[in-house]
């Protein structure tokens, strides 16, 4: 299965560049925090490929999924545990204190998915046709990337 993760340029604090951190190998976990169980919940597996793009930009990177952890019924203590254990791999340029502060504000989030990345590589940029996925979708799941790939 193929996945497309759409990233914002500044996720946790101004100046973050999560895509750059993925490409440099310092960000090895992509996390998604949700109020409801939405994709990629129960849709992503070890061995799947995740393609990365920033919002409004082409896809420029891909990685292989080496592990997936899903957490339900998040509590403040569980959020703090996840951040303490995995925070430096999720957002390597933010301090643990800053990340824990962010986590304390996520009281509406009930689900967390951690996608562990390996074999990250920069690829020739290409666009995609998001027709049918919804304009604000931040994660797409498709059987084969070539079905929605548009050459630049």
Kindly report, residue by residue over 7-62, the tens digit of the pLDDT.
Answer: 987 555 666 788 999 999 999 999 999 999 999 999 999 999 999 999 889 999 99
For residues 91 and 99, the answer to whether their CB atoms sit within 8 Å is yes
The count of domains in the chain is: 1
pLDDT tens by residue, 82-106: 999 999 999 998 999 999 999 999 9
Q: Flag whether 78 is in a domain.
A: yes
* Domain containing residue 107: CATH number: 2.30.130.30
Strand 59-71, strand 111-128: pairing: antiparallel
Provide the domain limits for residue 52.
Answer: 2-127
Q: Flag whether 45 is in a domain.
A: yes
């Amino acid at each position: 299965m193929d996945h497309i993760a759409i990233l914002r340029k500044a996720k946790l604090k101004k100046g973050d560049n999560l895509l750059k951190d993925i490409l440099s190998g310092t960000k090895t976990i992509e996390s998604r925090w949700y109020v409801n169980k939405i994709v990629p919940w129960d849709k992503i597996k070890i061995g799947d490929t995740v393609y990365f793009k920033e919002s409004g930009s082409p896809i420029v990177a891909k990685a292989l999924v080496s592990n997936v952890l899903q957490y339900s019924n998040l509590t403040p203590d569980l959020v703090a545990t996840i951040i303490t254990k995995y925070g430096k791999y999720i957002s390597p340029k933010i301090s643990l204190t800053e990340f824990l502060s962010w986590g304390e504000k996520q009281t509406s989030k009930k689900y967390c998915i951690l996608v562990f990345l390996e074999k990250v590589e920069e690829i020739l940029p290409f666009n995609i046709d998001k027709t049918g996925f919804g304009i604000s979708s931040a994660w797409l799941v498709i059987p084969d990337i070539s079905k929605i790939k548009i050459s630049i």
